Structure 1
Amino acid sequence: MLPITEKDLRASFVNTSRKETADITLPTWFDDADWAVLDYLGWRDPKIARRAYAVVPAVDGGPVGILLQRAEASPRTRAQCSWCRDVKLPNDVVFYSARRAGAAGRKGNTVGTLICQDFECSRNVRKTPPLAYEGFDVEAARLQRIDELRLRAAGFADTVLAGS
């Protein structure tokens, strides 16, 4: 992900009101983020329970900021993250919903997905996968997982935008 300024980050949100955008609490590590190993920027709001944010590089370029709402209940079984699809997750996965952008969102239309609770997807896909068979190219598999994470996250952003 390319580095982003606070001003550009706030301007990227597509499903928030002006007040919600102004109330965004940036993560404490924002100024020290290692942008080279982030496929998207995601964090939970420390001040507002169950609120989270994701800023995803869109397929056509610019960032798309999405306000997310975590479900009150957790999945009953061990869920798989829809973005990183890591089968050996070291973290919890929760259901996040997002209002659609534009008129559809103002009417109450939402979309949802299962994501790592603390947005560890970028770290998860960079782990070296296990050797599937002799001659298996683990580096190619790791790079493919990174590309697929980027596409799935951008696809979710496109779904949020589809309502505008």
Structure 2
Amino acid sequence: MRDVTETELRSCFVNATRSELEQLPMPGLHETIWAEREFLGWRDPRFRRLGYLVHWRGDELVGLVVRGAPGGMRPGIAAMCSLCHSTQPATQVRMFTARLADLDGDTGSTIGTYICEALDCSHIIRTGPPVLLTSDRIASRSAALLERVTRFTARVERAVREAR
């Protein structure tokens, strides 16, 4: 992922209302290792259920506001993130929904998917036994992750446009 600025971030969300953009908490942009990210994901420190996903689609920065479901899955079982396809304890995967909203408001509908609780899929695909972390395997997982993130954001963006 290429680096981004605060101004770019505030203007890229396809499903944010004006009030959400005004209150948007910024992640530590200067602390980010951009070369090891397919997308930038972070949680809102004030409203723990809120999260943000941002990625480059060609030369366009695209972002989503997502909301974690209350509660979570039952401990003791495994779950798979639909973005990075990593199997983890169910407590580390959560249903996130993207509201179909625009700057003027919310339609009341959502689109959801299971995502890593910390929105850290870019990190997850780069961890594991060293024997499995070849550069080819990481590149393959990286491309697949970016494709799935792009499909999810495109699906939300299309639904927001249709809902207007």
Under a length normalisation based on structure 1, what TM-score does the superposition of the two structures give? 0.84
Label 1:25 to 1:121 Cα distance change in 2 as closer, same or farther (>3 A).
same
Q: Distance in 1 between matches of 2:47 and 2:61?
A: 23
Q: Distance in 2 between matches of 1:88 and 1:109?
A: 29
- Between the two proteins, what is the percent identity of the paired residues? 33
Under a length normalisation based on structure 2, what TM-score does the superposition of the two structures give? 0.84
Q: Distance in 2 between matches of 1:32 and 1:123?
A: 14
Task: Mark the runs of 5 or more structure 2 residues left unpaired by the alignment.
Answer: none
Q: Counterpart of 2:78 in 1: which secondary structure? A: coil
Task: Mark the runs of 5 or more structure 1 residues left unpaired by the alignment.
Answer: none
The corresponding residue for 2:139 is 143
Following superposition of structure 1 onto structure 2, how do residues 10-159 of structure 1 map, counting pairs within 5 Å? 10-27=10-27, 29-58=28-57, 60-76=58-74, 77-87=77-87, 92-102=92-102, 106-127=106-127, 138-159=134-155
Is residue 98–residue 110 contact of structure 1 (8 Å, CA) maintained in 2?
yes
The corresponding residue for 1:3 is 3
Structure 2 letter corresponding to 1:34: I
Q: Which has the higher mean CA deviation after the structures are superposed, 123-132 or 106-115?
A: 123-132
Aligned residues: 157
Shift of 1:70: 0.5
Is residue 101–residue 160 contact of structure 1 (8 Å, CA) maintained in 2?
no
Shift of 1:130: 7.3
Give the root-mean-square deviation of aligned CA atoms.
Answer: 2.5
CA displacement, residues 45-67 of structure 1 (integer Å, 9 cap, x when unaligned): 00113111111222x43111111
Shift of 1:129: 6.2
Q: Distance in 2 between matches of 1:113 and 1:88?
A: 15
Q: Counterpart of 2:63 in 1: which secondary structure? A: strand
Q: Distance in 1 between matches of 2:43 and 2:53?
A: 9
Is residue 17–residue 102 contact of structure 2 (8 Å, CA) maintained in 1?
no
Q: Distance in 2 between matches of 1:25 and 1:102?
A: 18
Shift of 1:127: 3.1
Q: Counterpart of 2:108 in 1: which secondary structure? A: coil
